[in-house]
């Protein structure tokens, strides 16, 4: 058996080169994302490395690289699907899980909606879907990740779609302008609004009103005393859910560091923000999945209230596959 490695910027290029070099009988053995060579690698670009094999004697009726699928060698013949999932940034174990879950028929068709459904079937535990609100929903996270905007989107969507009122609490009062941003949103949405200038005022604000409350906090370092005080206060209360907001383009290493840094705040949920700005959300999702914290929302742009989705398995699968940018409609296993 002849085995060769092919390194190209995209899976499509690699498969084309393999077909030209080894012919249509070649089989994909494995796929990896590797650092690109030369200056492309220095600036962080990655190539796809596909290992292909040519059987010593072509087996009659044996499936080929691009069309490869057979019941006796399911993974290698599904290499095209795994390669494309890897190229979209998915980690290997997830890509292989999806490929293994695919039936030959699903594999053959491989339209984008079918792949999204397949991937979604593996994401149930990582998402919360449309869960009921806790009495208090607190949003924490580094500066500028989109906490305030996310809260405004949630309150505005609930108001517009279900006629439901959520109260807004600005616990970010020490920064000039920060509370005004939320106050403005509250008045546009028609939501009750309170400012908490201290932990004591926050304690009082959380008692008031009959609606569920969305609490906006200042973007600050987890080592900051303010966050410790907040945690201490919320730790004494029931019905509190804490969302840690992390930007989608955060690398796996940075995400792990962030999750460690915010560990004491005990986040119950992760909001993945700025999905529209990220090349891939897969590294962040892999880091979050390791910690077993489900994703509650995805934010997909600056528009309030449109650019927010509940993190359903389908929505997360759509974000991971970047909805068609990888040419899935034309793909087969």
Of 322, 246, 259, whose CA–CA distance to 290 is shortest? 259
DSSP, collapsed to helix, strand or coil, labels residue 126 as: helix
Contacts of ligand GTP in 289-318 (CB under 6 A): 299-302, 307
- Rounded CA separation 283/292 (Å): 15
Given the complex with ligand GTP, which of 243 and 274 has the nearer CB atom? 274
Contacts of ligand GTP in 162-221 (CB under 6 A): 172, 178, 218-219
* Binding span for Mg ion by CB under 5 A among 67-75, 146-154, 160-168, 191-199: 146-154
Binding ligand GTP by CB under 6 A: which of 51, 76, 88, 149? 149
DSSP string, 133-185: PPSEEEEE-STTSSHHHHHHHHHHHHHHHH----EEEEE-TTSTTHHHHHHHH
Binding ligand GTP by CB under 6 A: which of 28, 102, 120, 145? 145
Binding ligand GTP by CB under 6 A: which of 147, 241, 243, 256? 147
Classify strands 46-54 and 27-35 as parallel, antiparallel or unpaired.
Answer: antiparallel
Residue 258: contacted member of ligand GTP, Mg ion, none (CB under 5 to 8 Å, by partner type): none
Given the complex with ligand GTP, which of 144 and 324 has the nearer CB atom? 144
User: What phi, psi does 117 have (nearest 5°)?
Assistant: -65, -40
Q: Does 271 bind ligand GTP (CB under 6 A)?
A: no
Beta-bridge partner residues of 195: 170
Binding ligand GTP by CB under 6 A: which of 143, 239, 324, 327? 143
Given the complex with ligand GTP, which of 149 and 312 has the nearer CB atom? 149
Count of alpha carbons within 13 Å of 219, Cβ hemisphere only?
13
- Rounded CA separation 213/120 (Å): 30
Q: Does 148 bind ligand GTP (CB under 6 A)?
A: yes
Residue 307: contacted member of ligand GTP, Mg ion, none (CB under 5 to 8 Å, by partner type): ligand GTP
* C-alpha distances out from residue 259 to 62, 123, 190, 269, 284, Å: 47, 20, 34, 11, 11
Q: Does 149 bind Mg ion (CB under 5 A)?
A: no
* Binding span for ligand GTP by CB under 6 A among 70-78, 183-191, 196-204, 273-281: 273-281
Q: Does 148 bind Mg ion (CB under 5 A)?
A: yes
State the residue number with the nearest CB to ligand GTP: 219
* Binding span for Mg ion by CB under 5 A among 59-67, 143-151, 233-241, 282-290: 143-151
Count of alpha carbons within 13 Å of 19, Cβ hemisphere only?
14
Burial class (CB in 10 A: 0-12, 13-18, 19+), 26: buried
We find the least distance from the C-beta atom of residue 216 to Mg ion, in angstroms, to be 6
Contact by Cβ (8 Å): 260, 222 = no
Question: Binding-site residue total for ligand GTP (CB under 6 A)?
Answer: 20
Residue 194: contacted member of ligand GTP, Mg ion, none (CB under 5 to 8 Å, by partner type): none
Residue 283: contacted member of Mg ion, ligand GTP, none (CB under 5 to 8 Å, by partner type): none
Count CB neighbours of 187 within 10 A.
Answer: 10
Of 118, 123, 87, whose CA–CA distance to 100 is shortest? 118
Contact residues toward ligand GTP (CB under 6 A) are 143-149, 172, 178, 218-219, 273-274, 276-277, 299-302, 307
Contact residues toward Mg ion (CB under 5 A) are 147-148
């Amino acid at each position: 058996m002849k085995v060769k490695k092919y390194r190209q910027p995209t899976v499509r290029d690699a498969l084309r080169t393999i077909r030209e070099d080894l012919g249509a009988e070649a089989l994909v053995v494995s796929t990896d994302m590797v650092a690109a060579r030369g200056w492309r690698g220095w600036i962080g670009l990655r190539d796809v490395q596909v290992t292909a094999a040519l059987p010593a004697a072509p087996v009659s009726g044996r499936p080929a690289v691009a069309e490869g699928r057979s019941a006796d060698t399911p993974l290698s013949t599904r290499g095209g699907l795994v390669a494309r999932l890897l190229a979209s940034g998915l980690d290997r174990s997830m890509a292989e899980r999806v490929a293994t879950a695919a039936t030959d028929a699903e594999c053959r068709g491989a339209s984008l909606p079918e792949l999204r459904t397949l991937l979604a079937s593996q994401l149930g535990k990582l998402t919360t879907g449309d869960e009921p609100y806790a009495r208090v929903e607190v949003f924490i996270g580094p500066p500028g990740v989109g906490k305030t905007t996310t809260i405004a989107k949630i309150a505005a969507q609930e108001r517009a779609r279900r006629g439901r009122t959520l109260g807004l609490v600005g616990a970010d009062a020490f920064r000039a302008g920060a509370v005004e941003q939320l106050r403005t949103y509250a008045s546009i949405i028609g939501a009750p609004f309170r400012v908490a200038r201290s932990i004591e005022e926050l304690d009082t604000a959380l008692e008031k009103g009959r609606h569920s409350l969305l609490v906006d906090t200042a973007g600050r370092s987890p080592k900051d005393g303010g966050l410790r005080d907040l945690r201490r206060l919320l730790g004494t209360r029931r019905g509190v859910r804490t969302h840690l907001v992390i930007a989608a383009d955060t690398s796996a290493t940075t995400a792990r560091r962030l999750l460690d840094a915010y560990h004491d705040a005990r986040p119950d949920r992760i909001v993945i923000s700025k999905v529209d700005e990220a090349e891939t959300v897969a590294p962040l999702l892999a880091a979050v999945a390791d910690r077993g914290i489900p994703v509650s929302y995805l934010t997909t742009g600056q528009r309030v209230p449109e650019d927010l989705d509940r993190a359903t398995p389908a929505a997360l699968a759509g974000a991971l596959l970047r909805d068609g940018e990888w040419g899935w409609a034309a793909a087969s296993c």
